[in-house]
Chain A
């Protein structure tokens, strides 16, 4: 019989975020992989495609925008949709369900760990890009403003969609096989590995439904000169539309997560 109140969902969520970051940092292999993989890809693609796309825009510059956007999808959506089924199999979630910790705290903890790993990943990618691959950083504060909201909104949407998708894999072991193809196909369709406007029209249209295309395009608006906007499908960066579409996905992800989240694998 306590006089004290049960700690708030937010306080527990922040504590969970700290714990999850600590756990992530201790898994050395996955830290190295998560942080170094985008740099390796940049190195490979930057060496293969050395042509300039237009005046002063190298493929590396174009590709860095795509890598940051797909980093949003990898650290959020992909990681969570694979890790949550594993935690479900291990009984981690059932144990949490038996405590006063609400699902919202669990979600908050996940968003924190996703955000932190993503910021580190992007920082390392940009440092490597500038030092070794001739990537230019924007100087206009307005571009950094776009960059900031894209990362916050994109990581939130990616987290919510990862939690939402985590009900689909039937087991932790099979999760990667279910989730990874979705991500890889989206990356190809969304203009991460190739110049988006070079893709077939139907691919572009499919990609336009999903948020990765918009995150990638948003990042291009940050890292490419404004003159390049003329080469986009719409002839502009469509910044406003990008914001609304990612926000819509964030809301959809949240609603689905709240409605369908499972603590236990159905037997």
Chain B
């Protein structure tokens, strides 16, 4: 089976500003792929080109075997197979959740069941509620419902949890993990490192229009092999040691402390530490 997304040498400039400066990207079927990067890194431009919202200057792009720049009937057939959850939409407040999802179902050849989708995003209780009465998190769930109603083979999720409280984010992540079971490929863009870590099979870090690295969250930036900090409470208070072999150190410690090593922690660089280093301290906070 061929790749879901295949990008070679993608470039796009706005005037003198080169927003995307030669990107290569391959995303395989069934993957949750996260695109990480600070504002202005070229993340949004790249995704919008893949979504068919924007033209490109140069490069080969194939999404589900189709050039996203197609027009007319071909574009409709292509859009019938993808789902897009945009950053923020604020509309149609006078319709109910059910009415809105049922309406969007009419756009697709093979829609999922309306009730099933509303249930999947956890809005069953709000099915008859008008959209303007929904909370921010519930609205976001509705956005996802509209993104998946057409049974997409590929789903774009653009910063899905911006503005969520921690609990709502966890709940939302569970929803995305459920979606993966349906077999859809998901391209996620996010500001949040923990989000990428919780959801993504692979992460690409993009900065200044280029992809710096593509790896699993665990391996990104040589994270797995970076020095670990082992700390514990010794006779003279808290002690710590940086080592490339924490297991050996702990083995040694277990000989000293027969029972429990007091206040033992092993800390590797967090994804955030690695990421900040990679993008050279650019703004990540939004």
Contact = CB atoms under 8 A, between A and B. Distances in A.
A151 interface: no
A12 B106 contact: yes
Contacts of A6: 76-77, 80, 108-109
A63 B86 CA distance: 48
B53 A23 contact: no
Contacts of A16: 103
A4 to B, nearest CB: 4
Interface in B77-130: 77, 79-82, 84, 86-92, 94-95, 99, 103-104, 106-110
A153 B216 CA distance: 61
Contacts of B95: 19, 22-23, 26
B103 A2 contact: no
A27 B94 contact: yes
Contacts of B81: 1-2
A97 B150 CA distance: 14
A90 B52 CA distance: 19
B106 A98 contact: no
Contact of B107 (A26, A27, A94, A101): A101
Contacts of B103: 15-16, 19
B122 to A, nearest CB: 21
Interface in A22-45: 22-23, 26-27
Interface in A94-132: 94-95, 97-102
Interface in A57-80: none
B187 interface: no
B184 interface: no
| Most chain A beta-carbon contacts within 10 A, residue among B51, B81, B86, B108 | B108
A2 B106 contact: no
Interface in B217-248: none
A29 to B, nearest CB: 12
Given A6-B76, A23-B95, A11 B106 contact: yes
Interface string B153-174: 1000000000000000000000
B103 to A, nearest CB: 5
A95 B80 contact: no
Contacts of A4: 109-110
A23 B108 contact: no
Contact of A92 (B53, B89, B106, B107): B89
Contact of A95 (B89, B106, B153): B89
Contact of B110 (A2, A15, A97, A99): A2
Most A CB contacts (10 A, CB to CB) among B77, B80, B107, B109 go to: B107
A90 B94 CA distance: 14
Contacts of B86: 91, 94-95, 98
Contacts of B150: 99-100
A264 interface: yes
25 contacts: A1-B153, A2-B109, A2-B110, A4-B110, A6-B77, A6-B80, A7-B107, A7-B108, A11-B106, A19-B99, A22-B95, A87-B91, A90-B89, A91-B87, A91-B91, A92-B89, A94-B89, A95-B86, A95-B89, A98-B52, A98-B84, A98-B86, A99-B108, A99-B150, A100-B76
Given A1-B81, A15-B106, A95-B89, 15 more contacts: A2-B109, A6-B76, A6-B80, A23-B94, A90-B89, A90-B90, A92-B89, A92-B92, A94-B89, A95-B91, A99-B108, A100-B80, A100-B108, A101-B107, A102-B76
